[in-house]
Structure 1
Amino acid sequence: MRIGIGYDVHKLVPERDLILGGQEIPFELGLLGHSDADVLVHAIMDALLGAAGLGDIGRHFPDSDARYKGIASLKLLGEVKHKLELENYWINNIDAVVVAQAPKLAPYIEMMRQNIAETLGIKSKDVNVKATTTEHLGFAGRGEGIGAYAVCTIANKNF
């Protein structure tokens, strides 16, 4: 069994869609980034890649590469799944938390879990997503950005 941790943060800006866990969230601001800037999926990808000893998303999907401009992060998550499969790893579970003062995310969490699980080919019960605020402290509390943390466990199919 191997464990990975991931973290990502993006700035909130006008005129961008807010995508979290592959789910569009109605909000007046969205996240700035080269891709769709889905911080939740980015944190999960980094956790999975880290657990497998495969680096991070910047190594595999650099923002200097035009192929990834505006790409859906769930598509990149599918590519991460493929990279793990090539190394004979299967995903046991994922636990993640989104850190945002606003908007309220509770109504969207189940769909986020389903989107992530479907992309990875695992059961939604093996994907846990939580949301929290920072009680108005720090960049997230001031509404400047959104962050996400993720932890995962993977195992090698050969054992």
Structure 2
Amino acid sequence: MKIKTGLGQDSHAFCDTNKPLVLSGVVFDYSKGLNTNSDGDVVFHSITNAISSITGVNVLGTKADALCKQGVVDSAEYLKLAFHDLNHWKIQHIAIAIECLYPKISPMIEKMKFSISKLLDIAPEDVGITATTGEGLTEFGKGSSIQVFSIVTVTK
């Protein structure tokens, strides 16, 4: 059996618009959205980048930008492209670390895990999500933005 591990990161600042805050495909009850051309789902973006580090095919950037210009702003569509690039590799586990002051992540973790697992055809227990404020040492922990790191482990 062959094993690969991918690391991905993404971050976005909040903006004062009517844009909903979407994390892992789940809409959060929060007054601010994220400042991006897409829906700004930093969790899906981070996972997409982790998968891209495995396949060597960068989805965020040229491919996602082209889709945005066509009106496709759902980050699940970008993650689906990366997932397709895995070909015969099977996701075994995804570890996700989120840093932000707001919104509170813990109450939504189970919904987030279910959304990710459904999209990537894995069991919810194969998705781990942690959240921290980082003791307010960064802009993420001070409440102006969100940062996410993801590690994806695949086998073949």
TM-score higher than 0.5: yes
- 3-state secondary structure, aligned to 2:27: strand
The answer to whether the aligner puts 1:40 opposite 2:43 as a matched pair is yes
- Equivalent position amino acid for 1:90 in 2: K
Task: Give the corresponding residue for 1:81.
Answer: 83
2:120 is the counterpart of 1:120: yes
Distance verdict in 2 for CA 1:70–1:26, change over 3 Å: farther
**Worse overlay, 18-27 or 132-141:** 132-141
1:148 aligned residue: 148
Q: Which stretches of structure 1, 4 residues or longer, exceed 4 Å deviation after superposition?
A: none
The alpha-carbon deviation at position 53 of structure 1 amounts to 2.3
CA shift in 2, pair 1:65/1:72, >3 Å: closer
Where does 1:89-104 land on structure 2 (aligned, <5 Å)?
A: 89-104=89-104
Count, aligned residues? 153
* TM-score between the two structures when normalised by the length of structure 2: 0.90
Aligned to 1:130: 130
Give the Cα separation in 1 of the matches to 2:67 and 2:114. Answer: 30
Distance 1:63 1:45 in 2: 16
1:24 aligns to 2:30 (yes or no): no
Shift of 1:142: 2.3
- Aligned amino acid, residue 99 of structure 1: E
Q: Would the aligned equivalents of 1:50 and 1:56 in 2 still touch at CA under 8 Å?
A: no
Q: Distance in 2 between matches of 1:65 and 1:30?
A: 17
Identity, % of aligned pairs? Answer: 29
TM-score w.r.t. the length of structure 1 is: 0.88
SS at match of 1:107: helix
- What is the distance in 1 between the residues matched to 2:155 and 2:55? 9
Consecutive unaligned residues in structure 2, runs of 5 or more = none
Return the offset for 1:128.
Answer: 1.1
